[in-house]
């Protein structure tokens, strides 16, 4: 049996279950850190519940992912997760899910590991969203999750610093209302509303236009053009303003135009 025959016989086992995202369906990649609680609190002992070094490593990872070969319109990160809004008309790798999942997870792990100076890994899944409203709701969902995580995290680590162990601190927060958690922090000198917005809302990375001045050697004149660069946003809006903000990034599907 020659190589071509063997390749033809074996390739089907590799590709038989390939799934591709249909045209016109929006893709959001959700990339999560693996065992990051242990990594950041036990192995490297970063400040709890938030450490600006981890935030900056995550932002650098989002930056890298947005320039790694896919057309990514908006990146969002909170805690140990990243969400990437991919251009609905992206055709890379025939929109095969296994390619997007494997490449984005490996790129994220490689970038974060270099920043960390140690080994970190991520998993990835692609959320397939049929409408702009679904995309907006997805990012609102992740921002609400960031708020909940921030409130719970500050309460949990307050109790830990007061001497409670992991089990008792966790048990103490079960069933506690949002207002009670805010009051717990306030009675211990922490006004949750005054905490940095990146902790409570997450952070965004997106493309912004900027003027670039160059020199035209033919006319011997300065020429100003518009280019794009990545902007880090640590002060994202909330609620309906955030919904409108996200909607601006959603690209219409050109395949549906007549």
pLDDT, tens only, 108-147: 999 999 999 999 999 999 999 999 999 999 999 999 999 9
Cβ neighbourhood burial of 210 (10 Å; 0-12, 13-18, 19+): exposed
Tokens matching residue 177? 């209302």
Per-residue model confidence (pLDDT) at position 257: 44
Instruction: Classify 17 as helix, strand or coil.
Output: coil
The model's pTM is: 0.91
Which H or E run contains 58?
helix 52-65
Closest by CA to 104, choosing from 60, 133, 70, is: 70
Residues 86-110 have a mean pLDDT of 97
Q: What is the dihedral of CA 209, 210, 215, 219, to 10 degrees?
A: 60
Tokens matching residue 49? 């519940």
pLDDT in tens, 172-193: 999 999 999 999 999 999 999 9
Confidence class for position 226, pLDDT limits 50, 70, 90: confident
β-strand partners of 51: none
- Residues 66, 93: Cα–Cα separation, whole Å: 17
CATH number of the domain located at residue range(s) 18-131 in this protein: 3.30.70.3000
- Please state, as a whole number, how many other Cβ atoms lie within 10 Å of the Cβ of residue 229: 9
- Please, what is the average pLDDT of the chain? 94
Ranges 72-81, 98-107, 245-254: which has the least confidence: 245-254
Reported residue count of the chain is 258
């Amino acid at each position: 049996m020659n190589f071509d025959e063997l390749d033809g016989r074996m390739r089907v086992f590799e590709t038989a279950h390939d799934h591709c995202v249909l045209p016109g369906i929006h893709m959001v990649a959700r990339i999560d850190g693996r065992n990051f609680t242990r990594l950041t609190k036990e192995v490297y002992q970063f400040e709890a519940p938030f450490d600006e070094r981890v935030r900056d490593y995550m932002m650098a990872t989002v930056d890298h992912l947005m320039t790694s070969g896919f057309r990514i319109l908006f990146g969002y990160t909170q805690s140990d997760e990243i969400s990437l809004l991919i251009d609905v008309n992206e055709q890379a790798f025939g929109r095969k899910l296994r390619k997007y999942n494997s490449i984005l997870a490996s790129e994220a792990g490689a970038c974060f590991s270099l920043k960390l100076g140690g080994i970190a890994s991520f998993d990835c899944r692609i959320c397939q969203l049929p409408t702009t409203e679904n995309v907006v709701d997805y990012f609102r969902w992740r921002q609400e999750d960031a708020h909940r995580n921030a409130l719970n995290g500050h309460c949990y680590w307050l109790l830990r610093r007061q001497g409670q162990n992991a089990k008792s601190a966790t048990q103490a927060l079960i069933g506690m209302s949002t207002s009670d958690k805010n009051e717990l922090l306030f009675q211990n000198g922490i006004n949750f509303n005054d905490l940095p917005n990146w902790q409570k809302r997450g952070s965004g990375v997106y493309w912004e236009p900027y003027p670039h001045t160059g020199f035209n050697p033919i006319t011997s004149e300065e020429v100003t053009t518009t280019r794009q660069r990545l902007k880090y946003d640590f002060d994202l809006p909330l609620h309906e303003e955030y919904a409108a903000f996200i909607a601006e990034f959603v690209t219409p599907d050109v395949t549906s135009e007549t």
